[in-house]
Structure 1
Amino acid sequence: MNAGVARQGNRIFATGREARLAVRNGIHRGQTAGIAPGFVQANLAILPKALADDFFRFCQFNPKPCPLLAASEPGDPRLPTLGEDIDIRTDIPLYRVWKNGEPVAEVPDLKDVWRDDLVAFLIGCSFSFEEALVEDGIPLRHIDDGTNVPMYRTSIQTQPAGPFRGPLVVSMRPLKPADAIRAVQITSRFPSVHGAPVHIGKPEMIGIANIMKPDYGDPVVVKDDELPVFWACGVTPQSVIAAVKPEFSITHAPGHMLVTDLRNSRLAVL
């Protein structure tokens, strides 16, 4: 268990299914970083069927921020390729409900808002490559501090698909130069969970005016002997939803993911 998880008081579960059942039964309601070591976690975007084909193409066009792990059938809350007995209506600790591109509520389940025309998209999460970085001895400050990773909307535009377009969101981890080089090598092996960084150093070059004021998550200090390293982030769909303004959509609340039955080690490419 890492220090960040210990400080947040997260319980540790032996499997992804155990973690999901704890969420479903109201035992765990916090962030999901580290709660089931070794198991893949996923970002969530739920959209009406009328927009599903365009969003699927958006994920295909933008595999760095939106590496698609699975999509449901319309109205079906199950995702059998990601795990036994998954119910996307109950198995994430906190959901964010959107109307016309604005978040209107955060809810612990979707029982009251689920519709027969909704399609769930599950997108790879950086928690998978973070585990590999920590195992290699690379310190991650937000984990050590017990906070959420800082995330920023950038001036980099995603590749449009139908109505879906908008800025790329990145997550940032400050690293010493030697660790940054090693992090590029390690995360390049995980293309289905964002892969290698999209930018290193000089945040102003990608439209970030103040690195201590993230758009999502919590600020972390970048020390004089460190470089800010930026990865494409699975919160990008939330930025796009805010730009596209669909009449109804659902995402996870940042840091509150679906824990799957997939193993992180299975996502690594040699």
Structure 2
Amino acid sequence: MFAEERQLLIAELVADNGRVTVSDLAARFGITPETVRRDLDTLEDVRQLRRVHGGAVSMSRLSMSEPSIAERQTQRQDEKSRIAAAALALVPTSRTASIILDAGTTTARLADRLMAWTPSSPGDQLLVVTNALPIAALLVGNDEIQLHILGGRVRGLTSAIVGASTTSQLEALRVDIAFIGANGIDAEFGLSTPDTVEAAVKTAMVRSARRVVALADSSKLDQETLVRFAALRDIDTLITDVPPSPKLAAALDAADVEIVIA
């Protein structure tokens, strides 16, 4: 097999599996570890992967890799819709209820469903607190919902409102449920996101809620990004689209987290 053919296969393996190890590739192709390392160096030079200790990872798995909200809106739409439908069932139906909707495309799907929210009984109130401009733009059209938009600086990549003033406002709140998104949920690292300022806001949201519900499709499971904003024990419920891996499921069970498969 020519080196170019082997490197193409290695690039495909990384794209499919997210990561590869030098030892596994050496055994698979019957080559020396030194040859594998040269192949990985070549592929890194053309931005097909990122070298890490003992192997390589997909460029999409870098700790600070973060697609824009426009890109994410077109990804895993069916899974996010199912997760949002399951989350809607958890929205409190008490006479006065309050929720937080974190910035993100899955929480935006929940906001889509809340556009049709009406009181089940006269006088029922639902307060929605959000730091997401797209979510605020959706919910402002429903006169039945009391909308509270957190103030701060708008982060262009995600259209999220962030900053010290945002977190300080959250510190003064105690809502019934916070619906939180995450870029990664890992058995050991917990819930994470690539950006430090968004992580600070997410942490404040978690602390401000009586109940925390994480909304994450299966592509986020067993993943780590740069900044941890919550431990598994800090959330009460995880809504996702497939059962977590045995390792993550065991960690969630040990942290007493309810798992809902949408």
Q: TM-score, normalised by structure 2?
A: 0.23
Structure showing greater Rg: 2
Q: Which has the higher helix share?
A: 2
Which of 1 and 2 has higher RCO (CA within 8 Å, sep 6+)?
Answer: 1
What TM-score results when the alignment is normalised by the length of structure 1? 0.23
